[in-house]
């Protein structure tokens, strides 16, 4: 190896400074402000209020806790809903399917659409009276399946997660496709000679060999789920009522109301949740890799 081609360590200084100034410092300041009464009127004069903001979050009549619960629920369900179908789609498209590149592109396309466009489109599609979905159900004489997709408490989360899955499956699938491509074909050929079924091959070859891709998707999916905002903001804005409020929508509202201290406290809660989940997933997956 030509030593001249290796970058010296001091090359890291600039990115580290940028990272520190624009990411680390604001994050630490955010945690600091979460213990203060900083608001739109304080004009730089903030007072230390201890854990008051956190007590407010966990004991308030406003049911902020439900927002935290919704965030965790969305994170778990949306990941299951995206990961499992994406895995099977990736396997299907990895096999000798005709026009698989075309299907891959089609499935990936929604993930490059802006959330605002998705929100406007699906709000229209899911409209109870004039929406495309209910209209279609009526047309095929399945009117009994019609729902108030975005205004019924029992259905709204399904709609949000469904739209989110529609958008995200292609992206998750692409990572799986890359992972599947790295598994040597000889393993499958040997397994087939031994008479292994599809499920046996999946369990004993595909999943263990895909650990890396699964981990990447899980980490991305969990961090995305915990900080979910856009898709909810554009589809329901936390409604109907407060049925789809999550940590970030509460944080956004509080910031908009000028309650910056409370807003940063919410963000700190989110930071803690994300850190715990991230460490847990990485540790769990590293253990598996070691075992293999």
Instruction: Give me the residues that bind another protein (CB under 8 A), please.
Output: 39-41, 43, 61-62, 127-130, 148-151, 153, 233, 237-243, 252-253, 255-260
Min CB(124)–another protein separation in Å: 10
Q: How far apart are CA 68 and CA 265, in angstroms?
A: 13
**Closer to another protein by Cβ: residue 103 or 128:** 128
**Closer to another protein by Cβ: residue 135 or 184:** 135
Min CB(103)–another protein separation in Å: 33
Q: Is 283 helix (H, G, I), strand (E, B) or coil?
A: helix
Contact 56, 263 (CB under 8 A): no
**Closer to another protein by Cβ: residue 83 or 262:** 262
Min CB(148)–another protein separation in Å: 5
**Closer to another protein by Cβ: residue 129 or 194:** 129
**Closer to another protein by Cβ: residue 100 or 242:** 242
Measured CA angle at 261 (ends 256, 263), to 5 deg: 45
**Closer to another protein by Cβ: residue 109 or 256:** 256
Min CB(153)–another protein separation in Å: 5
Q: How far apart are CA 235 and CA 122, in angstroms?
A: 7
HEC secondary structure over 200-257: HHHHHHHHHHCHHHHHHHHHHHHHHHHCCCHHHHHHCCCCCCCCCCCHHHHHHHHHHC
Min CB(2)–another protein separation in Å: 22
Min CB(289)–another protein separation in Å: 43
Helix residue ranges, H only, the chain: 13-19, 25-33, 52-59, 64-94, 100-108, 115-125, 132-139, 156-181, 185-193, 198-201, 207-209, 211-226, 230-235, 247-256, 260-291
């Amino acid at each position: 190896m030509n030593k001249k081609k290796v970058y010296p360590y001091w090359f890291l200084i600039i990115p580290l400074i940028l990272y520190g100034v624009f990411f680390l410092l604001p994050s630490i300041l955010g945690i600091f402000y979460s213990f203060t009464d900083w608001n739109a009127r304080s004009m730089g004069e903030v007072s230390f209020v201890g854990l008051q903001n956190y007590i407010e979050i966990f004991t308030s009549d406003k049911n902020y806790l439900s927002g935290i619960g919704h965030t965790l629920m969305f994170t778990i369900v949306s990941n299951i809903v995206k990961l499992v179908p994406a895995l099977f789609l990736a396997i299907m498209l990895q096999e000798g399917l005709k026009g698989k590149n075309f299907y891959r592109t089609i499935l990936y396309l929604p993930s490059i659409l802006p959330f605002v466009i998705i929100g406007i489109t699906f709000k229209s599609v899911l409209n109870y009276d004039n929406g495309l979905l209910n209209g279609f159900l009526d047309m095929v004489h399945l009117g009994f399946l019609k729902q108030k997709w975005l205004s019924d408490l029992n259905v709204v989360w399904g709609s949000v997660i469904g739209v989110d899955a529609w958008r995200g499956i292609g992206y998750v699938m692409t990572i799986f496709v890359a992972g599947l491509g790295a598994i040597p074909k000889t393993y499958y050929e040997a397994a087939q000679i031994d008479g292994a079924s599809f499920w046996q091959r999946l369990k004993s070859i595909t999943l263990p060999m895909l650990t890396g891709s699964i981990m990447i998707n899980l980490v991305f999916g969990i961090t995305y789920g915990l900080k979910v905002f856009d898709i909810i903001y554009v589809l329901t804005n936390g409604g109907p009522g407060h049925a789809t409020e999550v940590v970030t929508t509460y944080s956004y509202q509080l910031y908009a109301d000028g309650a910056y201290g409370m807003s940063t406290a919410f963000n700190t809660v989110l930071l803690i949740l994300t850190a715990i989940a991230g460490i847990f997933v990485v540790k769990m997956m590293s253990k598996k890799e070691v075992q293999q």
